[in-house]
A and B are shown apart, each in its own frame.
Chain A
Amino acid sequence: MKPENITLISFGYFEKRFLGEIMYDVEREFRIPVIVREGYLDLSLYFDPARRQYNGNRLLQDINQQFASDETKTLAVFNVDLYIPILTFIFGQAFLNGRCGIASAYRLRNERYGIAPNEPVFVDRLRKEVIHELGHAFGLIHCLTPTCVMRSSTYVEDIDQKGWSFCPKCRKQLEG
């Protein structure tokens, strides 16, 4: 069943205006109305002092329980470094064909890699990451097409190389 809307929720010290910039692109890609709002969670509960990172699995579970609904697809955006136990970090994750996903802007900024800040590049990466995780929530798996937004990205360079649109195959599956 097609959801009524997509809800983008910003958490913590995250500048909501960035979501405002990308919401129209998300709306255009999914052809569903997008709502942007702010959410509140005590992120210290998810912090692992040994790793100095935030537990992405537990965050995703809690977003699902506290913020998601069956009528909408929810994506929570954070500005903290996310991890899952098996991996050193993640850009984001979602329940495949589920109600929600999470994404982090933390590793999308140039300054994390000792390069001069570049806001358009950062917004472009965030847009792709948000659409990518929402794609999973809509049931899409990773795609091998180099330019498709559903291509798996493990580094920011990978994100830069792909586009923010779906390839025809993923588009067909999304609308099918």
Chain B
Amino acid sequence: MTQKISILIVDDESSVRDSLYNWFIEDGYQVDCAEDAKVALNRLESETFDIVLADIKMPGMDGLEMLKRIKAIQQDVIVIMMTAFATVETAVQALKDGAFDYVTKPFDPDDLSHLIRNASRQITLMEENEVLKEKVVSLENVEDLIGKSEAMNQVFREIESVAQSNASVIITGESGTGKELVARAIHANSPRKYFPLVSVHCGALSESLLESELFGHEKGAFTGAVYNRKGRFEMADNGTIFLDEIATISPKMQIELLRVLESKSFMRVGGNKEIKSDFRVICATNRDLKTMVDNGVFREDLYYRLNVVNINVPPLRERTDDIPLLVDYFIKKYCKTMNRAVMTIDPAALKRLEEFPFPGNIRELENMIERAIVVGNGKKITLKDLPIDRPEASPSFESLNDIEKHHILQILNKYNWNISASAKALKVDRVTLYNKIKKYQLKQANN
């Protein structure tokens, strides 16, 4: 736990509140009291508590009703119910409604200590669980960062040198080059590796959603804010936040982001409590941020704050040496996922892949291999399993004339040089088609 465990005591008897308050304060907990359910619910709407210790019998709203409402406000809070009149029915009902435990007043000091210790352990476990889940994802994905080409070795060297520092990093590169994997590798090799790496895809969210996602929100802050919710900056405490597609954020969000990066503190949407978080920022973009700064689209001060270190991930066409390695890795990966025997690749198919320009980079290669495994014969990936047109079918053209010539020839071959059918398909008259055949000196293959 990085922070003190907070406890809210809810009881209509002041002597009980005072007793518990003194007891928990001596144990070093952060303690607050409420004299009835209404006050407690108001507190829970504006603040977050780890544990609520509540009496069942209270004037106005009883503890069981309050328990349901608490769970509607803060789902994860641990609620322990207390009563002076224990019945099996109420105990069972409380547990069914989501109470962590149930105790009868007065209780033995040792029981109380055990109860809170167990609750604290539960909170720690829940937090560890979240951190570990994030960590597993990080580690699994870091394995995908593969390459032995000089271009990739340079990226690995940069990752290694920047990982140990706390510096902000901007990762640039075309779409599909593996920018997020680089971010995960930096995090996994940094002193923050035991804490979460929290990813946010800025481009996928509207301005208001992004604001709520990054800063969190209080219940009722806007329509649909049914619960209090932690923001990504809060979740990334002691860890790293990865902001993908940073170039897409609005001017308003740029200001907000700059403020948070400078102060490392923020408020939830609809909240009034300042929250501090210690995080490292890594951003990624496939656009030229410097040009955006020059054009006045991206704030210069934010750019310089984010761009302490820049790592450029090369496109796949500039590291074709890595293609055999990547193909081998993806074959093994997907054969394992699909529970199949490991396949091989035909040398001609591999050669074709090495020649292919891959505008979608590694993501495109990965999808291609996955598809080939699905449609293939289960033993060897061949040319026909790859969704790449033959080179002669898709030569690289530079002029419009070349494209026109190639297209007309394709249509003529398709319709067996039937001029009327070909002209109809091309939506030109027959004379125009004859003129084009003459212009490009097209001939039927068998003639």
Show the binding face of A for B, using Cβ within 8 Å. Answer: 57, 83-90, 93-96, 136, 141-142, 152, 154-155
Contacts and interface: CB of A to CB of B under 8 A. Distances in A.
Contact of B27 (A89, A90, A95, A152): A152
A87 B25 contact: no
Nearest to B103: A86
Interface stretch (B32-40, B104-112, B397-405, B406-414): B104-112
Interface string B17-28: 011101101111
A166 B257 CA distance: 46
Contacts of B429: none
Given A86-B107, A95-B22, A142-B26, 20 more contacts: A83-B106, A84-B15, A84-B23, A85-B13, A85-B15, A85-B106, A86-B16, A86-B82, A87-B107, A88-B106, A88-B109, A90-B109, A93-B23, A94-B26, A96-B25, A141-B26, A142-B27, A152-B26, A152-B27, A154-B110
A90 B112 CA distance: 12
Given A57-B15, A154-B110, A155-B110, A86 B20 contact: yes
B432 to A, nearest CB: 90
A154 B16 CA distance: 19
A152 B108 CA distance: 14
B26 A86 contact: no
- Give the most central of A87, A89, A142: most B CB within 10 Å: A87
B64 to A, nearest CB: 20
Given A85-B13, A85-B16, A141 B27 contact: yes
Contacts of A155: 110
Contacts, number: 61
Contacts of A83: 106
Contacts of B25: 96, 141
B377 interface: no
B23 A86 contact: yes
A174 to B, nearest CB: 15
Nearest to A155: B110
A84 B24 CA distance: 13
A170 B18 CA distance: 25
Interface residues of B, number: 21
Contacts of A57: 15, 18-19, 22
A96 B110 CA distance: 20
28 contacts: A57-B15, A83-B106, A84-B15, A84-B19, A84-B23, A85-B16, A85-B19, A85-B105, A86-B23, A86-B107, A86-B112, A87-B19, A87-B108, A87-B109, A88-B106, A88-B107, A88-B108, A93-B26, A96-B22, A141-B26, A141-B28, A142-B26, A142-B28, A152-B113, A154-B108, A154-B109, A154-B113, A155-B110
A173 to B, nearest CB: 12
A155 B113 CA distance: 12
Contact of B19 (A86, A89, A96, A141): A86
Contacts of A141: 25-28
Contacts of B26: 93-94, 96, 136, 141-142, 152
- Give the most central of B13, B23, B105: most A CB within 10 Å: B23
Nearest to B112: A87
Nearest to A140: B26
Nearest to B15: A85
B285 to A, nearest CB: 47
Nearest to A85: B15
A141 B106 CA distance: 23
A46 to B, nearest CB: 13
A96 B107 CA distance: 22
Interface in B23-62: 23, 25-28
Contacts of B13: 85
B25 to A, nearest CB: 5
B419 to A, nearest CB: 93
